[in-house]
Amino acid sequence: MLGRSKVRHQDAGELARGYSPFIRLLEIAGILTFFGLLIALVVQLAPGASRWPTIALAALALGYFAADFISGMVHWAADTWGRVDTPLLGKAVLRPFREHHVDPLAITRHDFIETNGNNCLVSIGPMAATLFLPQGEELPYHFFFSALLTSSAAWVLGTNQFHKWAHLPTPPRWIALLQRWRLILPVEHHALHHQAPYNSHYCITAGWLNRPLQAIHFFPLMELLITWATGALPRRDDIGEQAAIEAAPKLEEEAKPLPFPPLP
C-alpha cells in the first residue's frame, strides 16, 4: 500500500472554487434534460411493459448491476485519466472526483444539483439515442434493450446519492438499514476506495461488482492497456507524479522460469 505522505493532492480550496456558475448552469440543464428524457422513455416503454412484464422486471433488476458497473467505469476513468484544467470536461466532470479524494466530506455538503448534475450529464447522450430505437409488438429485444438502458440511467442517477449517503457521519435509520443489507453502497465497503492510492473499489451504486472485477484484475489490466497505447501515467493528476509512478500497475518484473531447461 502506498504511503499517504507520498500522495500530492491538489489544493482543496482551489478545487472547490472550480465549481463555477457556468458549470452549475450546465448541471441544471443536464438534470432537466435527464428528467425530460426519462419521462419520454417511460411513456414510450409503458405499452411494452404491460405486454412483457417479466422482461420489464428483468431489465429493472439487471439495470442495477449495469449501473454498478457503469459507476465503476466512469469513476475509474475520471479518477485515473485526464486533467482538471482540460476545457469543459476537466471542470464539469473531473474536478468533483479530484475534490472528493482531498475532501471526502465535501459531497455531504453538496445540494441535489451539485451531487447529481454530472451523473445526469453522462447519461443524456445514451438516453437520447435510445429514444430513436423503434418499439412495437414484434420487437421484444428492442423493448428489453431500451428498458435496460432506461433502468440503468435511473439507477445511475441514484448512484451519487448512494455515494453521498456512504459519507454521511450519521445517516437516517432507513438509509443505514439499506447500507447494512448491502442493497446500496455500504460505508465500510466504500471506505476501502478512500485509501491511497485510490485504485480499487470504484463501483459505487451498491459495490456488488467490486470483488469480481478485482478478482480478474479488470482495472489494472485496462490501465496497462491504455498506458501501452498512449503512454499516459494513471492517476498523475490526482496523486502527483511520484506517487502515480509507484502506484501504476506493472507487468511481472521477472519472467517466469521456463518449464524446461533451454536448449544449449
Footprint of Zn ion (CB under 5 A): 79
Amino acid identity for residue 147 in this structure: A
Would you say 27 or 79 has its CB closer to Zn ion? 79
Tell the smallest beta-carbon distance from residue 53 to Zn ion (Å).
Answer: 36
Tell the smallest beta-carbon distance from residue 56 to Zn ion (Å).
Answer: 32
Tell the smallest beta-carbon distance from residue 167 to Zn ion (Å).
Answer: 6
Output phi, psi for 2, to 5 deg: -75, 135
**C-beta nearest to Zn ion: residue:** 79
With contact defined as beta carbons under 8 Å apart, do 205 and 162 qualify?
yes
Q: Where are the alpha helices (DSSP H) in the chain?
A: 12-17, 21-51, 53-80, 89, 95-102, 106-109, 112-131, 140-165, 173-180, 187-191, 210-215, 218-230, 236-239, 241-247
Q: How many CB atoms lie within 10 A of CB 87?
A: 7
SS3 of 192, please? coil
Tell the smallest beta-carbon distance from residue 111 to Zn ion (Å).
Answer: 17
Would you say 28 or 191 has its CB closer to Zn ion? 191
Would you say 143 or 202 has its CB closer to Zn ion? 202
